[in-house]
Amino acid sequence: MSRTIQIEHLARVEGHGGITVELDGDTVREVRFDIFEGARLLEALLRGRSCEEVAPIVSRICAICSSAHTLTSLKATEDAFGVRVSPQTLLLRDLLYRGESIESHALHLFCLAVPDYLNLPSVTALAAQNPEIVNLGLRLKKLGNLIQETIGGRAIHPVNAVLGGFGRLPGVDQLIALREGLLEGVSDCEKALDLFSSLPPARFCYADTVFAALRPRGGYGYYDGDEVVLLKNGTREVFAASGYRALTNEKAVPHSHAKHSSRAGTPFMVGALPRLTVNFDILDGRAASIVNRLGLWLPSCNPMDNNKAQAAELIADVERALAIIERLLRNGFGDEPRAPVQPKAGTGTAVTEAPRGLLFHSYTYDEEGRIVAADVITPTALNAASIEHHIRCAVEQSAEKDPATLTRKLEMIVRAYDPCISCSVHLLRTRNAG
């Protein structure tokens, strides 16, 4: 007998998507991560646009990931023109990126995911039952936004990060204020660590998982680096950013405005869990102990552990952000000119780690610095095939007979990926598409 499990509107995720599972008896015939978000076709806007206009436009792909899109866009354009930014700019971009990660992880964990573990429908219900948890989450979230406002000039769609550096550098007094905030954040992180290590276990599927993540330069991070590692059964395959198409290997599918990616037919996962798994060897002692205290054993075959991995990053990043500010202040933080930007014809590619995983931007410019071709590949698009894989495993392995409970579990798996559906749709590509 054939039947269908359907989640029409995924709640507590960014954007509009659903899940459809079609079964013949107990055999799963098809799983679809349906995406209904309209197609904005932003590539039409980019064609012919001048280099300085690109980052503010692609930032609008997604609000929650807007610093990631802005910084990845700048990195790709600077790669195309051979621009080298100063060490101080690199540190500030690193800090801005961590600010976004803190905000995004806190929003996802406290407002969207934790209610699941406590069997509650929303953050409002959680606030009624346990306001301390919500206030803790909101304080950490606000701290991430404070970093983005101080360095990026706005919490959503940053205005201050531009080609070659920054419009205006923050004052030393602002960095000191930020340090104060982060010092308070460190004690909040202890509470967060207690909370996340005490959440009830959630294991709805056990699946061999292939992980892909940036191999960061200069320690665990999201911005600096040019290599991607694909980890499969303990074997590492390394890709240069410029050769990203060999990894992403996308194909368009009818049920979704997001293209699907797989490597040699095997879907791979991107995000916090893959990042920690691929880069466990370069974690500092403090971060490794956080991972241990959270009871996160790597590599993990449970996609729900992406929540724990986000928690580990959130907690470690508050301390890392503090360390960056102390380093900036110690190094004699000061005004400096932006790196000169001289447009030339050519292609530039950048890879970074958005809060939800690998993000690629690749642009081809003409000699006057106008866009000829653009390609953006977002983490949720990369994860689409992996989400379907994990949903399939969960349905196949589940003994759950109550449809409502099963649906709830499937929704939790999707939510653990922290999907960002706006991002997934608005991939951009123009290839001499005149």
Partner 1 sequence: MSRPTVGIFGLTGCAGDQLVILNCEDQLLDLAGALDIRDFLMASSENDTAGSLDLALVDGAVLSRRDEERLKQIRARSKMLVALGTCAVWGGVAAMDRGLDRAKLLEDVYGEVGGSYDAQPARALHEVVKVELAISGCPVEKQQFLAAVACLLNGDPPLYPDYPLCAECRMRENNCLLIERGELCCGPLTIAGCGARCPEFGVACVGCRGPAGDANVSSAVAMFADRGFPKERIAARLRTFAPAAVEVHS
**Does the footprint of partner 1 cover residue 85 (CB under 8 A)?**
no
Q: In sequence order, what E strands does 209-298 have?
A: 211-215, 227-232, 235-240, 250-251, 260-261
**Does the footprint of partner 1 cover residue 402 (CB under 8 A)?**
no
Residue 430 CB, nearest distance to partner 1 (Å)? 6
Site string for partner 1, 336-375 (x = CB under 8 A): ----------------------------------------
**Does the footprint of partner 1 cover residue 138 (CB under 8 A)?**
yes
Question: Burial code of 305-335, b = ≥16 C-beta within 10 A, e = fewer?
Answer: bbbbbbbbbbbbbbbbbbebbeebeeeebee
Length of the chain (residues): 434
Question: Burial code of 365-377, b = ≥16 C-beta within 10 A, e = fewer?
Answer: beeebbbbbbbbb
Rounded-to-integer distance, Cα 392 and Cα 20, Å: 10
**Burial zone of 394 (CB within 10 Å; 0-12 exposed, 13-18 middle, 19+ buried):** buried
Residue from 21, 54, 61, 133 touching partner 1 (CB under 8 A): that is 61
Residue from 23, 45, 288, 298 touching partner 1 (CB under 8 A): that is 45
Residue 253 CB, nearest distance to partner 1 (Å)? 7
**Does the footprint of partner 1 cover residue 429 (CB under 8 A)?**
yes
Residue 184 CB, nearest distance to partner 1 (Å)? 14
**Does the footprint of partner 1 cover residue 203 (CB under 8 A)?**
no
Question: With respect to partner 1, which residue has the nearer C-beta, 12 or 392?
Answer: 12
Taking contact as CB under 8 A, which single stretch among the options 21-29, 151-159, 189-197, 389-397 is the one that binds partner 1? 151-159
| 127: its two tokens | 């606030």
Question: With respect to partner 1, which residue has the nearer C-beta, 152 or 221?
Answer: 152
Taking contact as CB under 8 A, which single stretch among the options 140-148, 192-200, 266-274, 307-315 is the one that binds partner 1? 140-148
**Does the footprint of partner 1 cover residue 167 (CB under 8 A)?**
yes
- List Cβ neighbours of 221 (8 Å cut-off, separation of 6 or more): 94, 97, 98, 320, 353
Residue 317 CB, nearest distance to partner 1 (Å)? 18
Cα dist. 36→33, 305, 378 in Å? 10, 27, 17
Number of residues that bind partner 1 (CB under 8 A): 68
**Does the footprint of partner 1 cover residue 388 (CB under 8 A)?**
no
Rounded-to-integer distance, Cα 256 and Cα 235, Å: 31
**Burial zone of 247 (CB within 10 Å; 0-12 exposed, 13-18 middle, 19+ buried):** buried
Beta carbons of 126 and 149 less than 8 angstroms apart? no
Q: Quote the DSSP letter at residue 389.
A: H
Question: With respect to partner 1, which residue has the nearer C-beta, 78 or 411?
Answer: 411
Residue from 5, 23, 63, 298 touching partner 1 (CB under 8 A): that is 63
CA nearest to 81, candidates 265, 403, 351, 340: 340
Site string for partner 1, 4-43 (x = CB under 8 A): -----x-xxxxxx-------------------xxxxxxxx
* Angle ∠(93,55,33) on CA atoms, nearest 5: 95
| 288: its two tokens | 């490794």
| 385: its two tokens | 């095939």
**Does the footprint of partner 1 cover residue 307 (CB under 8 A)?**
no
Residue from 155, 276, 296, 312 touching partner 1 (CB under 8 A): that is 155
Residue 43 CB, nearest distance to partner 1 (Å)? 6
Question: With respect to partner 1, which residue has the nearer C-beta, 21 or 136?
Answer: 136
**Does the footprint of partner 1 cover residue 121 (CB under 8 A)?**
yes
Q: What are phi and psi of 303, to 5 degrees?
A: -60, -25
Residues of this chain, 260-299, that bind partner 1 according to CB under 8 A: none
Rounded-to-integer distance, Cα 374 and Cα 363, Å: 4
Question: With respect to partner 1, which residue has the nearer C-beta, 252 or 399?
Answer: 252
Residue 33 CB, nearest distance to partner 1 (Å)? 15
* Angle ∠(265,267,268) on CA atoms, nearest 5: 135
Q: Quote the DSSP letter at residue 210.
A: -
- List Cβ neighbours of 31 (8 Å cut-off, separation of 6 or more): 19, 20, 21, 22, 388, 389, 391, 392, 395
Question: With respect to partner 1, which residue has the nearer C-beta, 254 or 265?
Answer: 254
Binding site for partner 1 (CB under 8 A): 9, 11-16, 36-45, 53, 56-57, 60-64, 66, 107, 111-112, 115, 121-125, 127, 131, 134-135, 138-139, 141-142, 145, 153-157, 159-160, 162, 166-168, 252-254, 257, 259, 411, 422, 427-431, 433
